[in-house]
Structure 1
Amino acid sequence: MPDWSSPAYTAAEVARYHAAGWWSQTTLSDAVRRNAQRTPDKAGYVDYLGETSLTWREFDAAADATASRLAGVGVAAGDRIAVWHRDSAAIHVLFVAIERCGAVVVGIGARAGIREVSAILAASQSKLLITDEQRHSDATGLGIETLSIDALNTIAEIGMPAPQLGADDVFLINSTSGTTGLPKCVVHTQNRWHYFHQLAVANGKLSSDDVFLPIIPTPFGFGLWTSHTTPIHLGVTAVLLDRFSAAATCAAIEQYRVSVLCCVSTQLSMMMADGASREFDLSSLRVVFTGGEALPYRPAAEFEALTGAKILQFYGSNETGVLSGTTLDDPLDRRLRTGGRIVPEMAVRLFDGHADVTDTGRGQPACRGPATSLGYLNGTDHDKLFTPDGWMLMGDICEIDADGYLSVTGRTSDFILRGGKNISAAQVEDAVMTHPAIAVAAAVAMPDEVFGEKVCVFVELADVELAGVDSAGRLELPDLVEHLLGLGVSKELLPERLVVIDELPRSSGGKIAKGQLREQVSR
């Protein structure tokens, strides 16, 4: 039964979402069976450079077989089954099999460390942990029954799965993929992602003829709809990478004639900074969905010019879902410099502390609507996530213009306080990324005895030939500052320290782990 203990929805809202068609009675498991009947021999999931390629008939049969084995080892309705597995066809089969057992997936990112895994297992009270072979040895000592996927597939015990979940039931618990501290567990129904799926189809004019390449970790919000929800509901072919690299992504696009690429903004910047983007034929791309972080304008515009594809953004979070989105019909400047128009079905208010400042057009967004999650597991920190009257808060500061377009100007917790002046890290990063030598940038506060904090920027460099730097690949702070001043960038956004590193640290969700950078600069 649905869990309405969260303030996310009232019973009247649930009824309205169904009546409007934003929510459906069709589950992902139902959609898999439909695909197996309509297009049985069409490739469903393909592991790039792997051995697995499943047609929709094979996918459906594999999910049934896995569900029977799970039932045979005692998985019952309502159980929470943790999955710590690389991105592959197998993880999607496993998610559907768990759904067919009436159980709940606890999704753990493939790059999660033991400390994060332990915290998620404890918070979710998972009954069983299923891993791939690579992570199976790491899972020993976690105090939970553990099965590798290979061991599960050899189990002879066959059981009768409990009735599958409904579209309004809790089907997934995942983590926030935050950049600092331990993750919180977020509770999801299928329908909040079904709504998101419908919006993506409309904004990107998607069809079953598209070929998807999602390169965001599966269990997280962005990865969940791009690799699981939308490919299954549309019945497309989805090509999966075990691990992201610019070269592998470009090669996969060329080989499979990918038409829809789904990536976080950092990955897009890394592709443009890599020579592979010029070595492969990327002309099959039609749509690129990106987000998760601020989108740097320069590499995004260059990517569109190179490929002919259009980049679309959604603004939202794992908790809130989508608040705004861009469409294929939006002009370039709107698509790349804003998060798009506010979605009509999502009511949005703006706050400054506890004060409603919606009329000013600037503040911290809060929302209610069919895209929101049920919040955090067990109501943890709901006093911080929700306003007293039940609106779900974002952690950003945004502006909404007269035409309804939303722009993120900073995070409530991602400002550098220099001499009493709040400096947006996102604005610093966007300015720094205009330099052709820089592939990825992250701005953090650097402690200072006089000003309290100063601006420190960590960067990864682009390919030397593409960047136009000297043969040693050097970039010095004065060169960067001179470049920014030449563009007329505000002096308050100028970095005061530049740290060039081979690779910025990433969270298990693929975002830049700023917490680690802050610790480094503090030392």
Structure 2
Amino acid sequence: MPVPEHRPDAGAPVSEYPPDVVAAHYATGDWTADTIATMVARNDPARVAFIAPEGTFTWGDYDALSSRLAASYAEAGFRPGDRLAVLLTGGALTHVAYLAAQKAGLVTVGIGPRAGDAEIRHLLAKTGAVGLATRSAHRGRPGAEIAARCGAPRHVVLDLSGLPAGRFEGPGLGADDLFFVNSTSGTTGLPKCVRQTMNNRKYFGPLAHAAGRFGPDEVFASVLPAPYGFGLWSAHVVPAMYGYPTVLAAEFDAAETLRLIERHRVTVLCAVTAQFIMLLNDPAFATTDLSSLRVMFTGGERVPVARAREFEDRTGCAVLQFYGSNEAGPLSVTTVDDPQPARLTTAGRPVPGARLRLLADGADVPGGPGQVAAAGPGCTPGYLDDAAANAALFRPDGWLLTGDVATVDADGYLAITGRIADFIIRGGHNVSALVVEEAVGGHPDVAQAAVVAVPDPVLGERVCAYVVTRAPLTLDALRLHLDATGVSKQNWPEYLVDLPELPIGTGGKVDKATLRADAARRFPT
């Protein structure tokens, strides 16, 4: 599938996909003309949409508030096709802001709430965002200060209580237009920007509905950061498709999440692996009534079998997961109908509509092991204005390369056995080893750095930096330097090992296999 680059100039939105691709997915019913705005408007306006830190909002409230914010964008001079960066912690305002942008024809650039200034600055520049929207204060810092330090052309203060009267009636974005740009960990030291359409994200809806056997009265709780793929489909898209109320929190806290599940009788929980392990580890887990839970969608990193089984045993709910990524969308899924061993030890069977291949040295290897290549309705049209990254993401024949190595058993279950790309998956976030290496190597006392993963029973993996230094260096001193240079906290190492020299493999490169084995011995779980 060709990967068209999004034009840099603003203007009337155009489809992100070639016409034949769009036609094929509409013909199968995997894509439809519905937008998130039309789905929200179709829901019963008196029913609850969000139970959030700001209060409880009906679908009617959500529709009206987003239309008023869209009108204010138009009055402020934003034009259809403009890209607006949004930096918010969780809550109803996040979704109102995303929906308002869609109604006004703006493309949302989603920025993770914990992003450091260096990452924000890069995303603003890379996407050509015309402004940065925040609350008056973001995680204890004035939003205006963040905007100024990161070079935002304009700062927009978002406040649900201060929206002017009025309703935006413009055409808004279509289901196949670029509507969202979210970032993913890169291998060049800075995040890449993934292009998303509403049909990409809507594709999760019927798959999740079937996997979890959803009924008419589900209550969702999504405790993930909203801008990333998992958070986007589980809180912004799927509840709107089916009219489900969704419980939101400003930021994840295990004890508070348990309280919310009990209080609001949550039936479908969406949380990355690290979060559900934190729930298990919290003392309140044993005394909280979690009997309402039927399904938990998890993933983002390796799901430990023993802890997943413990969660099922202690709650009675089924632990499910999609295998996929921001780029690939959903590729396989486990379901409530799968036997527990398959549900907890595999990534499930390929989803309808997705086409998968296993490749080794460029050739198909049915059954594997091989790198997973994909094509289908959930695949991104590509990275934003990044021809080199797109050339690495897509084969010349259009198949998307995931970087994951997998096998498929006789019953059709996919199992992920390794990763080609050099990432540490910490709490569901892909941390590029090269990003951390470049950040650590920027310290004046560091002569050489290599970063590897350390297994962790809660987060899946933690980041360990091996360094050769010019002068003694502590982890605390290194973190002060990273903070001062605006490096996002998710890219800070959690372990630091100073060696006289780094081990070198037969190819002349740093032997990371030796370092990983050493890290596992030094920091046992």
TM superposition shift of 1:359: 2.4
How much is the aligned-residue C-alpha RMSD, in angstroms?
A: 2.8
Name the amino acid aligned to 2:63.
Answer: D
Aligned partners of 1:79, 1:494: CA distance in 2, in Å?
46
Change (3 A) 1:131 1:415: closer
Name the amino acid aligned to 2:243.
Answer: G
- Counterpart position of 1:148: 157
Secondary structure of the structure 1 residue equivalent to 2:204: helix
Question: What aligned pairs does 1:321-336 form with structure 2 within 5 A after superposition?
Answer: 321-336=329-344
Name the amino acid aligned to 1:168.
Answer: D
CA deviation string 1:202-261 (max 9, x = no partner): 111123411111011101101100010001111111010111121111111000000000
Pick aligned residue for 1:374 from 343, 362, 381: 381
- Counterpart position of 2:363: 356
Aligned partners of 2:193, 2:312: CA distance in 1, in Å?
36
Alignment partner of 1:46 is 2:78: no
- Counterpart position of 2:192: 184
Alignment partner of 1:97 is 2:122: no
Change (3 A) 1:493 1:391: farther
- Counterpart position of 1:343: 351
CA deviation string 1:470-511 (max 9, x = no partner): xxxxxxxxxxxxxxxxxxxxxx899321178xxxxxxxxxxx
Question: What aligned pairs does 1:120-519 form with structure 2 within 5 A after superposition?
Answer: 120-135=123-138, 136=143, 137-143=145-151, 144-150=153-159, 154=162, 162-177=170-185, 181-353=189-361, 355-380=362-387, 381-414=389-422, 429=455, 433=457, 441-442=461-462, 449=503, 452-453=511-512, 495-498=520-523
CA deviation string 1:279-306 (max 9, x = no partner): 2111110000011101011111100000
Give the conservation status (yes or no) of the 8 Å contact 2:332–2:347.
yes
TM superposition shift of 1:154: 3.4
- Counterpart position of 1:86: 89
- Counterpart position of 2:21: 13
- Counterpart position of 2:478: none
- Counterpart position of 2:473: none
TM superposition shift of 1:133: 2.4
TM superposition shift of 1:79: 1.0
Aligned partners of 1:279, 1:200: CA distance in 2, in Å?
29
Aligned partners of 2:394, 2:94: CA distance in 1, in Å?
32
Change (3 A) 1:330 1:112: same
TM superposition shift of 1:266: 1.1
Aligned partners of 2:423, 2:92: CA distance in 1, in Å?
40
Name the amino acid aligned to 1:498.
Answer: F
Aligned partners of 1:197, 1:267: CA distance in 2, in Å?
22
Aligned partners of 1:455, 1:229: CA distance in 2, in Å?
43
Give the conservation status (yes or no) of the 8 Å contact 1:175–1:186.
yes
Aligned partners of 2:185, 2:216: CA distance in 1, in Å?
30
Give the conservation status (yes or no) of the 8 Å contact 1:349–1:356.
no
Aligned partners of 1:337, 1:350: CA distance in 2, in Å?
19
Aligned partners of 2:115, 2:169: CA distance in 1, in Å?
30
Structure 2 gap segments, 5+ residues each? 7-14, 425-451, 467-498, 506-510
Give the conservation status (yes or no) of the 8 Å contact 1:86–1:132.
no
Aligned partners of 1:159, 1:449: CA distance in 2, in Å?
63
Aligned partners of 1:284, 1:304: CA distance in 2, in Å?
13
Give the conservation status (yes or no) of the 8 Å contact 1:207–1:234.
no
Name the amino acid aligned to 2:155.
Answer: T
Give the conservation status (yes or no) of the 8 Å contact 2:68–2:164.
no
CA deviation string 1:331-367 (max 9, x = no partner): 11111111101123111112224x1233252111111
- Tell me the TM-score normalised to structure 2 length: 0.78
- Counterpart position of 2:76: 73
Aligned partners of 2:79, 2:407: CA distance in 1, in Å?
47
Structure 1 gap segments, 5+ residues each? 417-424, 458-491, 501-523
TM superposition shift of 1:53: 1.1
Change (3 A) 1:240 1:363: same
Change (3 A) 1:100 1:407: same
Give the conservation status (yes or no) of the 8 Å contact 1:68–1:160.
yes
Aligned partners of 2:165, 2:257: CA distance in 1, in Å?
39
Aligned partners of 1:257, 1:159: CA distance in 2, in Å?
34
Q: Percent identity?
A: 41
Give the conservation status (yes or no) of the 8 Å contact 1:326–1:341.
yes
- Counterpart position of 2:449: none
Change (3 A) 1:178 1:237: farther
Aligned partners of 1:238, 1:155: CA distance in 2, in Å?
23
Secondary structure of the structure 2 residue equivalent to 1:410: strand
Pick aligned residue for 1:64 from 62, 67, 85: 67
Name the amino acid aligned to 2:49.
Answer: G
TM superposition shift of 1:52: 1.8
Secondary structure of the structure 2 residue equivalent to 1:140: helix
Aligned partners of 2:344, 2:310: CA distance in 1, in Å?
11
